[in-house]
Structure 1
């Protein structure tokens, strides 16, 4: 676990310096209950390598760590038959509400009528065909 850093909360959880409610662990990732429990079963998955967020992933990091998303999502869903959906999210950077600067994925179980709102907005009326083409072209150029 030499890829961990001293002052990172999730690195401390991986090392066992901070207790957690672990639901899955192997050589690559650790999944544990989020202490906030937005809904019952809210789980986090973290790589056992300190990576700040998805902007710092290599292709190999993605292959190694993200392969566990379906298994963890299904395990969380199966724990309660009342779960009808799930938000699987990752906040990347402070402006995207990333609080712990160690890559992590949230698995938030959803229940009919749970009242949880994931806020987005539709700005389609503010964009022209040319705007879409210009933005798409600029993104394509980054590959």
Structure 2
């Protein structure tokens, strides 16, 4: 029997159950404007394929990782051009509230603690 993996991003965001303002999308990746942002400008970038975290990526995921980095570079570059600064990071372990690989890309004043 195959184990079903459940997570917020697969179950709610990528399935369209929770509508979000799309920032970027292609066949492999999805980026949206965070609905409860930490910074004035806050985008979440994730693969459409379920991957638990950065450290669970496999060799077969190399093209997916490159596509994620291309999207992160474009979004962060846009933030740099418009706001002069950007941060890009992913969480692991207990710091990762949803067990689906995702990057936060942010700029501007911090709106709330994280």
Q: Same fold (TM over 0.5)?
A: yes
Alignment partner of 1:8 is 2:11: no
1:72 pairs with one of 60, 75, 87: 75
Q: Which structure shows the higher strand fraction?
A: 2
Q: Classify 1:84/1:75 alpha carbon distance in 2 versus 1 (closer, same or farther; 3 Å).
A: closer
Task: Map Cα deviations across residues 40-94 of structure 1 (whole Å, 9 max, x no partner).
Answer: 220000000111101111234243233321112123444xx3x121110100111
Length-normalised TM-score, structure 2: 0.78
What number of residue pairs does the alignment pair up? 105
Give SS of 2:41's match: coil
- Structure scoring higher RCO (CA < 8 A, sep ≥ 6) equals 2
The runs of 5 or more residues in structure 2 that have no matched partner are: none
Give the RMSD, CA atoms, in angstroms. Answer: 2.3
Instruction: Name the residue aligned to 1:104.
Output: 102
Instruction: Name the residue aligned to 2:92.
Output: 92
Cα contact 2:46–2:102 (8 A) shared by 1: yes
Q: Compare CA radii of gyration and give the structure with the larger one.
A: 1
Q: For residue 37 of structure 1, report the CA deviation from its aligned partner.
A: 1.3
Instruction: Name the residue aligned to 1:59.
Output: 59
Moved >6 Å (runs of 4+) = none
